[in-house]
A and B are shown apart, each in its own frame.
Chain A
């Protein structure tokens, strides 16, 4: 059977991917430029026996999704900048209580209400540090409609596998752009489903099996009566004020991501083998960067592109290795240097790090980027 070819928006591809990954619950609040995700979810979920609910605000949108996830349903909520700010407290809740969840942020221009219908990439650091306290973060960012589909599935898989909220950080460019996409058969996809614990008299909700960093999760209603809290808790799930216990828990929460970086981190290295210069970019802006790299290569300049697909955890080792090879790294992003700071941190002075950024609602053009690039020559 031939593959289904569709012409979809990034936001639509997100929903198609989510459904294939097994999403059966969506709760959210309307906000530009993410609303198509809610609209399409409301249309498609009841057709597969899933549930959609438009909640009274952004906070309730994520709260209901966490509640649904606790009953064993794969759950998602989507928003944009202002709503992402409102969701932060419960992102932290999902992190400490280890509730699988996908949070989509279709980035627009900020701060505040900012530029609702224009792209931005100013929420990269908020995706990492937006909620209070130290906490693990997985954040993925696609550069195309097809990759939005793929990464939505991956976001669900990682959320379930590591019992953590996963942030799919798209932007108005990829969210609203339409492209050709081949939709695969579900059987061709790798779908990760939650692992149930075994029943037993000594059941403990957050106990780890030998060698594991992630406890198995039972849905509410399945006969395991356990307690879930946003307080520091011990392996039983009940609150604990013990500093020794808090130390164990927070280190495990951070450690489960750190120890699995190889599994979580993905990136694209384009024309980097012989590169003397590097452009580093991500999301919709990486398309501008790739166009610029092609044009610069055509002029005989040995430049490559490093594209972040996983933003958090940051691909430190890969970027550091390239920094030993190239003279200059130009970071292209729609903000005033959020990832540039991170690149500076990891390259430790190995290479010059520069920024080509803006945050006025326009996307970077290849010409702008080439001009900024050539300043180094």
Chain B
């Protein structure tokens, strides 16, 4: 292997990863590594935090300060890391179930505080590690091992959820649109405040098979055909009919939590 990105940013001895053939997660993980490289971050000052699930194994492969926590709690651990040492660039990796089901409370409150964390949601619309149960982002009517007759739940739009809770940067892209995805991750890392990028992934093994979505390539093609860029959707709404919109949903500047806390400390000195 002679790939400088892999050699510089990955723990080569921990590879290959555990993800299935055709899984989209590796694409997101390498997009994160490229975004970190482009952002020129010091590896020693980057901390990657995850919870539990397929996506949460990513930090183990990445050569930074890495913290693999309990299910749903990555943002809560990350809040402690960031507030205790704001010098660290803290990136949270979480799956759709991890982030919006068991960890949903932490997501909305991290967003509300506008603490400078970058969250990348690996959204494959299913609980993969436990074998294909429906998640909060599984579409109504889709199947999972716990929705054998079709899911009657309504799904979350995680990007809009984060935006609604106060995230000051929220964007969505897919593993097919990887250049755009990387661009958003870079923007999220550079953004001061709580940022979230929803990376729509594919799970051919469970979600794909359960829902007869075909091969991994078929699923990638489905992403290509089902998502439309926000700018196009705005200019030509007819092209967006029945499609998902990707792009930057929110990008604004608001006071950041750890800076506000430091101001309190400064004020008390005076």
Give yes or no for direct A-B contact (beta carbon below 8 Å).
yes
Q: A residues within 8 Å of B by Cβ?
A: 24-25, 27, 46-47, 49, 51, 53, 55-57, 59-60, 63-73, 75, 89-90, 93, 219-231, 238-239
Residue B192 CB within 8 A of the other chain: no
Which chain B residues in 61-79 approach chain A with CB under 8 Å? 63-70, 73, 76-79
Residue B268 CB within 8 A of the other chain: yes
Which chain B residues in 44-85 approach chain A with CB under 8 Å? 44-45, 47, 49, 59-60, 63-70, 73, 76-85
18 contacts between A and B (CB under 8 A): A27-B80, A46-B265, A55-B109, A56-B76, A56-B109, A57-B105, A60-B79, A60-B106, A64-B83, A65-B80, A66-B80, A67-B80, A67-B84, A72-B84, A72-B85, A90-B70, A219-B85, A221-B65
Q: Is the CB of A221 within 8 A of B88?
A: yes
Q: Is the CB of B81 within 8 A of A70?
A: yes
Q: Is the CB of B80 within 8 A of A64?
A: yes
Q: A64-B77, A75-B80 are in contact. Are A47 and B60 (CB under 8 A)?
A: no
CA distance A55 to B182 in the complex (A): 31
Shortest distance in angstroms between B81's beta carbon and chain A's nearest beta carbon? 4
With a CB–CB cut-off of 8 A, which chain B residues contact A219?
85
Q: Is the CB of A227 within 8 A of B81?
A: no
CA distance A46 to B269 in the complex (A): 9
Residue B87 CB within 8 A of the other chain: yes
Shortest distance in angstroms between A101's beta carbon and chain B's nearest beta carbon? 10
Interface residues on B, range: 35 or more
Q: Which residue of A lies closest to B79 (CB)?
A: A64
Shortest distance in angstroms between A134's beta carbon and chain B's nearest beta carbon? 18
With a CB–CB cut-off of 8 A, which chain B residues contact A221?
44-45, 47, 65, 85, 87-88
14 more contacts with CB within 8 A, not counting A63-B80, A67-B76, A224-B65, are A25-B84, A27-B79, A51-B83, A56-B106, A64-B83, A67-B49, A67-B67, A67-B82, A68-B84, A71-B84, A72-B84, A223-B44, A225-B44, A227-B66
Q: Which residue of A lies closest to B266 (CB)?
A: A46
Shortest distance in angstroms between A333's beta carbon and chain B's nearest beta carbon? 32
Among B14, B81, B261, which residue has its beta carbon within 8 angstroms of that of A67?
B81
With a CB–CB cut-off of 8 A, which chain A residues contact B79?
27, 53, 55, 60, 63-64, 67
Q: Is the CB of B109 within 8 A of A60?
A: yes
Q: Is the CB of B84 within 8 A of A51?
A: yes
Q: A60-B109, A90-B70, A230-B70 are in contact. Are A73 and B84 (CB under 8 A)?
A: yes
With a CB–CB cut-off of 8 A, which chain B residues contact A71?
80-81, 84-85, 88
CA distance A91 to B81 in the complex (A): 17
Q: Is the CB of B265 within 8 A of A66?
A: no
Shortest distance in angstroms between B230's beta carbon and chain A's nearest beta carbon? 30
CA distance A129 to B106 in the complex (A): 27
Q: A51-B84, A56-B109, A221-B47 are in contact. Are A64 and B76 (CB under 8 A)?
A: yes
